């Protein structure tokens, strides 16, 4: 809230300026909905109509228009632009050294959230896990204990063992 146009200057009168948002007009809502349904993104619609993104979201919710999903937006993006963005992202990441700890964190997260794992790979991992448990029990019964090969194999087929 500001009482003076120029700071630290005493004036004969004081104006109180309060930032109050405009009340949305129904015609503005229909205009924003038309822009959005014409294929513009939220940001583009806000820029064209010279309003904020929150105003566009509000108009869409009042008009009961559902927002596009990330996949729908990606499908609308031209292939050349998607390819350019992908190449730029790859160029930004290439050559950056990653520590063993960060690689391990990534591997554990991917395993916990099952990212990039097909159903067949999941079934194979379960079978190998049960086979490995059986093999370890057999080795302990025979008296070999846990030798290096079994420990190495369990580290590969189970999660990334970080210390």
Q: Which residue has the higher pLDDT, 21 or 131?
A: 131
Does pTM surpass 0.85?
Answer: no
Domain 1-79 fold is Arc Repressor Mutant, subunit A (1.10.10)
Question: Average of pLDDT values for 52-60?
Answer: 91
Does position 84 have pLDDT exceeding 90, yes or no?
Answer: yes
Does position 146 have pLDDT exceeding 60, yes or no?
Answer: no
Residue 42: Cβ within 10 Å count? 18
pLDDT band at 60 (very low <50, low <70, confident <90, very high): very high
Question: What are the beta bridge partners of residue 2?
Answer: 17
CATH 1.10.10 location in the chain = 1-79
- Cα angle 141-147-152, degrees, rounded to a multiple of 5: 125
Three-state DSSP state, 139: helix
């Amino acid at each position: 809230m500001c009482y003076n146009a120029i700071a630290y200057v005493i004036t004969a009168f004081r104006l109180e300026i309060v930032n109050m948002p405009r009340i949305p007009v129904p015609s503005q809502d229909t205009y924003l909905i038309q822009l959005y349904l014409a294929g513009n993104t939220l940001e583009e619609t806000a820029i064209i109509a010279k309003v904020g993104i929150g105003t566009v979201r509000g108009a869409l919710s009042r008009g009961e228009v559902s927002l596009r999903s990330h996949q729908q937006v990606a499908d609308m993006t031209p292939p050349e632009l998607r390819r350019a963005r992908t190449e730029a992202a790859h160029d930004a990441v290439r050559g950056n050294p990653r520590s063993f700890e960060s690689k391990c964190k990534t591997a554990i997260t991917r395993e916990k959230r099952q990212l990039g794992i097909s159903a067949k790979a999941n079934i194979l991992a379960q079978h190998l896990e049960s086979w490995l448990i059986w093999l370890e029990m057999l080795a302990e019964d025979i008296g070999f204990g846990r030798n290096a090969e079994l420990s190495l194999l369990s580290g590969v087929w189970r999660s990334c063992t970080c210390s």
